[in-house]
Amino acid sequence: MTVRVQCEDFDVGVEIAQLRVGNSKIGAVASFVGIVRDINEGTTVGSITLEHYPGMTEKSLAAIAEQARARWSLSGVLIVHRIGTLEPTDQIVLVVTTSSHRGDAFSACQFVMDYLKTDAPFWKKEVTAKGERWVDARDSDSNAKERWK
């Protein structure tokens, strides 16, 4: 299980290869990559800046990965989240889960993202033509988490 918070971009291929190395029992790899969009709530977004709570962020991501491991049969879980200033089309988050079979890998990957959205202390601020604005949390994210209960 690996959790990283970083400014730098990530290479999905390299990350998956590292998670698989030396483990011939892995039969499935599921991954999710979140990308910065150029439009949010109908307004064009120039860039976003991500703030986080150092210490708690890593702790909460590790706890989410641990919950996924307790719930499904997984070989590995990787969570990489970027911070700092990002632009549209930039990668922002990566979740990779590996397992013997696809069902566990798929479900765990979705579970990790749903929990990350409501539990991990990150905040996005957007820069638009009208100035800066903090992104509001969405009810749909809370609902997405509820389905796992």
Partner 1 sequence: MKLRMLYFASLRERVGVSEEMLDVPGSIVSVAQLRRWLAERGTGWAEAFAERTVRAAVDQTMVNDDHALIDGAEVAFFPPVTGG
Which residues lie near partner 1 (CB under 8 A)?
34, 50-53, 55-56, 59-60, 81, 92-93, 113, 116-125, 134-137
- We find the least distance from the C-beta atom of residue 57 to partner 1, in angstroms, to be 8
First to last CA, the chain: 23
Task: Say if residues 26 and 77 touch (Cβ distance below 8 Å).
Answer: no
Q: Can you tell me the distance from the alpha carbon of 128 to that of 123, in angstroms, rounded to the nearest whole number? A: 16
Q: Is 39 exposed, middle or buried (0-12, 13-18, 19+ CB in 10 A)?
A: exposed
- We find the least distance from the C-beta atom of residue 119 to partner 1, in angstroms, to be 7
Q: Which is nearer to partner 1, 26 or 117 (CB)?
A: 117
- We find the least distance from the C-beta atom of residue 61 to partner 1, in angstroms, to be 10
Strands 122-128 and 91-99 turn out to be unpaired
- We find the least distance from the C-beta atom of residue 76 to partner 1, in angstroms, to be 20
- We find the least distance from the C-beta atom of residue 63 to partner 1, in angstroms, to be 9
Determine which helix (DSSP H) or strand (DSSP E) holds 146, and give its type and residue range.
helix 139-146
Q: Which is nearer to partner 1, 105 or 116 (CB)?
A: 116
Q: Can you tell me the distance from the alpha carbon of 68 to that of 75, in angstroms, rounded to the nearest whole number? A: 11
Q: Which is nearer to partner 1, 104 or 126 (CB)?
A: 126
Task: Say if residues 13 and 3 touch (Cβ distance below 8 Å).
Answer: no
Q: Which is nearer to partner 1, 8 or 136 (CB)?
A: 136
Q: Which is nearer to partner 1, 52 or 75 (CB)?
A: 52
